[in-house]
Amino acid sequence: MNWPAVKAIYGFEMARAWRTVMQSIFSPVMSTSLYFIVFGAAIGSRIQEIDGVSYGAFIVPGLIMLSLLTQSISNAAFGIYFPRFSGTIFELLSAPVSFVEVLLGYVGAAASKSIILGLIILATAALFVDLQIAHPFWMLTFLVLTAVTFSLFGFIIGIWADGFEKLQLVPLLIITPLTFLGGTFYSISMLPEFWQKVTLFNPVVYLVSGFRWSFYEISDVSVTLSLTMTIAFMLVCLAIIWWIFKTGYRIRN
């Protein structure tokens, strides 16, 4: 394992985040805080509790997951797209660095930034509501697994995209709507029976549900199923990335 190469890629990507701290950290935290204030005030005045948890506290895991998904994808996608856009990707491909080391550097940095952001949002939410974390270990496990999995997904998007518009296409038009419809601001048990079944086809439901369980021990679906779905998606992303580097899809040509 070429650890100096991994460290160099990781350090470069993390340094880029600190150079753009207003965009990378401050902006998502402010956006999430606004979601929290607006939805907590507007809907919280009508819905006092869900499953024994105050509405303001109930939406915290969903809001963290919303930021975690979008930022993980964006960080990883932009991280690998810029070397392709500038042509420096060929220097990386000609260096004695395997695809595993490239992946560790780029995805590790993207996931690290998302995890830091998630923890900052968690600390910010604690200023507004009385939070309780029933299972800190599983909370961190879901946080790290989700950040890594969707950073891998973002890496794939960064390889696939051939323009800046496509980099934002999936996070804005697919991930964000799925997150809003995945139980971020409500429990799917509040929906009519037909829509409860339809919602189960939304993969974000399993992420939000498992993460919320680690806080309040309440979930819409089985925690084991949530964990299994997350790991399965991560393995699928790893298989796709292995194929990309093996065939050179959108990298060598």
In a domain? residue 235: yes
Residues in Cβ contact with 55 at an 8 Å cutoff, skipping those fewer than 6 apart = 40, 43, 44, 47, 48, 49
The predicted model scores a pTM of 0.90
Classify residue 187: in a domain, yes or no: yes
- Give the chain's radius of gyration (CA, Å): 19
Number of compact structural domains in the chain: 1
Mean pLDDT per 10-residue run, the chain (253 residues)? 88 82 73 73 69 85 89 90 83 83 93 92 84 92 95 93 81 84 85 88 91 93 92 94 88 70
Q: How many CB atoms lie within 10 A of CB 82?
A: 14
**Which residues does 161 contact at the CB level (< 8 Å), separation at least 6?**
77, 81, 167, 169
pLDDT at 181: 86
Classify residue 177: in a domain, yes or no.
yes
Does residue 178 fall inside a structural domain? yes
Instruction: Find out whether 103 and 11 touch, Cβ atoms under 8 Å.
Output: no
Q: Identify the pLDDT of residue 154.
A: 93
Q: Which domain holds residue 7?
A: 3-247
- Side-chain half-sphere CA neighbours of 239 within 13 A: 6
Residue 229: inside a domain, yes or no?
A: yes
Closest to 221 measured CA to CA, from 195, 191, 196, 194: 196
Predicted local confidence at residue 40, as pLDDT: 64
The answer to the question of residue 252 being in a domain is no
- Angstrom distance (rounded) from CA 157 to CA 72: 11
For residue 45, the model assigns a pLDDT of 61
